[in-house]
Structure 1
Amino acid sequence: MRAIVQNSVGGPEVLAVSDRPTPSPGPGQVLVRVKAAGVNPVDVAVRAGFYPLLGEPPFIIGWDIAGTVEALGDGVTAFKAGDAVFGMPYFPKQAAAYAEFAVAPADEVALKPAALDFDQAGGLPLAGLTAWQALVGAGGIKAGQRVLIHAAAGGVGHLAVQIAKAKGAHVIATASTEKRDFVRSLGADEVIDYTATDFSETVRDIDIVLEPIGGDHAALSLKTLHPGGIIAALLTPSDAARAEIDRSGKRFARIGVRPDGPALRELAALAEAGKLKVHVARTFPLAETGAAHIFLGTRPIGKVVLTT
């Protein structure tokens, strides 16, 4: 099979097409013929050596997959050959998603919703699970709550807006000027242009903040929370911001996404109900993976996806 292998960490140029043996599924695993693989910021960080999840190269990065079941390992009864599936296997261990085939534990994939094509399904798992585990898992989101979602046009953000709306929340979102209309189209009740308005001075009584920015930004989000609110952070806040959060007595959760078959099925159900759409900004063929990483750095709306 073709796979994107890197023999060193560095820029996009280290991502090279290579021939590798097609893996075989072991007990409890499925072999997936990958049709689409999402590209995420964590992929870029691992590729560049900023986030050494996989140790020393060579390795194959990528975690999002969507495709069809090619073969079943012993004991797998939930799927059959030919089933369309999607998932985020093994994270944070190597899943080797940037390839024509990938092995995944059967309980870490789910049937692809018919409402999403393979490109859309390939962009959903990591970002969708991150949003779900932040809002539903850590936040315990309930109907009528006020939720603040930052970077609402991004991969995680645009899914989080839709999940929060599906749960009955009042959604306040931040986005840049040129992305406001897109975020409104997702159903956000209020959209704040962060280039023109200081959200920390205007937003109050928030139950859950989805905080994907890190650094000192969490301290600004802290000002919007009511006393029982929670910040669900995707990146580590600065020491000063964390100290301020601790002094405030308000709740804080650092979200580290994990494989979650039941949550994938919940996301699939939302998609089938027409309540969750995945916006794919652009697709790239596997051979142009480096270009896909460069494009992701332009902060496009929604998701970037590789196709095989």
Structure 2
Amino acid sequence: MRAVVIKSFGGPEVLEVVETPLPEPGPGQVRVKVAAAALNPVDAAFRDGYIAPLTDGQLGLGWDFAGTVDAAGEGAGFAPGTAVVGLSYGPAATKSHADHVVVDASAVAPAPTTVDTVHAATLALNALTAAQALDLLALSPGDSLLITGAAGALGGFAVQLAHRAGITVTALAGPDDEQLVRSLGADTFVPRGATVAPAAADAVLDAAVMGEPALAYVRDGGAHVGVIPGASPAPVRSVRVETVEVSPDGARLAELVKLLDAGVLTTRVAGTYPLGEVAKAHTRLAEGGVRGRLVLIP
């Protein structure tokens, strides 16, 4: 099968599409024939060498995906032919930017029925991260939450999930993103770079990775959740500071799929690229201003 790997760290030029043996699922695992796989900033971070070392001389890329189970290990619970979405978590020699991916069955869920595979492939990583970040914040209906990077994939899901939970949402995003974030459920919009600071919120979800400056948006004794392990600011004013590190969770992903099918969540695709043009996709991601996810098609 073909798989996107890196054998050294650097820019998009280090990406390779190589032929590699078809992986076999073990007990409790499934092999998925990938129909589409999203490109996320974490893939660029892997490529740049910020997160994980090379595994056996190479490192695969790709986290979330949509496709069809074509082989299942003992006790996997998914029959071949089942359409699924899932998360290929952590470093490995090959991941979901490939023709096939093997993952634990506990990391996949039945695919949504209301969107195509390209849109379905953008759900797992960002929606799970948003849901798990909100779990850490432990807010109640009526509490206030400011979300930085609210127009991004992670931030957008967080706006929708928080709005559904009855939380009052302030969205901080680019000046041209007000209509978008309000359509997702934001109650208040703050343009990035505004000279007048918003009212302090009960909590901040820092999807834009602002770091220490985002603490200014939290009330004394509030909460701050970052999205990059090891990059959270030091706590001040009794603010509780935590970091979400996404965990594969097929049961939770199945709940998010139902919310997508019910129209509560919205997937956004900025463009598609053939797997062989992965370097072009990485270059486009690095240019910035992408609203939605770029998706690779094997």
Residue 223 of structure 1: aligned partner: 216
**CA shift in 2, pair 1:238/1:2, >3 Å:** closer
What is the CA–CA distance in structure 1 between the aligned matches of 2:40 and 2:231, rounded to whole Å?
A: 23
Partner secondary structure for residue 248 of structure 1: coil
Tell me by how many angstroms 1:164 deviates.
1.0
Tell me by how many angstroms 1:46 deviates.
0.9
What is the CA–CA distance in structure 2 between the aligned matches of 1:158 and 1:238, rounded to whole Å?
A: 21
Please state if 1:300 is matched with 2:290.
Answer: yes
- Root-mean-square deviation (CA, aligned residues, Å) is 2.0
Please state if 1:17 is matched with 2:12.
Answer: no
What is the CA–CA distance in structure 2 between the aligned matches of 1:257 and 1:105, rounded to whole Å?
A: 15
Please state if 1:89 is matched with 2:88.
Answer: yes
2:199 aligned partner, one-letter code? V
Tell me by how many angstroms 1:31 deviates.
0.7
Aligned residues of 1:143 and 1:169 also touching (Cα < 8 A): yes
| TM-score, normalisation: structure 1 | 0.90
Aligned residues of 1:218 and 1:237 also touching (Cα < 8 A): no
Unaligned runs of 5+ in 2: none
1:142-291 aligned within 5 A: 142-195=140-193, 197-198=194-195, 201-204=197-200, 206-214=201-209, 217-235=210-228, 241-242=233-234, 245=235, 247-291=236-280
1:51-130 aligned within 5 A: 51-55=51-55, 57-77=57-77, 79-93=78-92, 96-130=95-129
What is the CA–CA distance in structure 1 between the aligned matches of 2:179 and 2:240, rounded to whole Å?
A: 32
Partner secondary structure for residue 210 of structure 1: strand
Aligned residues of 2:52 and 2:91 also touching (Cα < 8 A): no
2:206 aligned partner, one-letter code? E
Partner secondary structure for residue 107 of structure 1: helix
What is the CA–CA distance in structure 1 between the aligned matches of 2:46 and 2:230, rounded to whole Å?
A: 20
2:225 aligned partner, one-letter code? A
Q: How many residues align?
A: 297
1:175 aligned partner, one-letter code? A
What is the CA–CA distance in structure 1 between the aligned matches of 2:56 and 2:170, rounded to whole Å?
A: 41
Partner secondary structure for residue 60 of structure 2: coil
**CA shift in 2, pair 1:263/1:91, >3 Å:** farther
Tell me by how many angstroms 1:93 deviates.
4.9
What is the CA–CA distance in structure 2 between the aligned matches of 1:165 and 1:121, rounded to whole Å?
A: 22
What is the CA–CA distance in structure 1 between the aligned matches of 2:212 and 2:5, rounded to whole Å?
A: 39
| TM-score, normalisation: structure 2 | 0.93
Tell me by how many angstroms 1:131 deviates.
0.7
Aligned residues of 1:34 and 1:68 also touching (Cα < 8 A): yes
- Stretch deviating more after TM superposition (85-94 or 58-67): 85-94
What is the CA–CA distance in structure 1 between the aligned matches of 2:256 and 2:126, rounded to whole Å?
A: 11
**CA shift in 2, pair 1:253/1:54, >3 Å:** farther
Aligned residues of 1:66 and 1:86 also touching (Cα < 8 A): yes
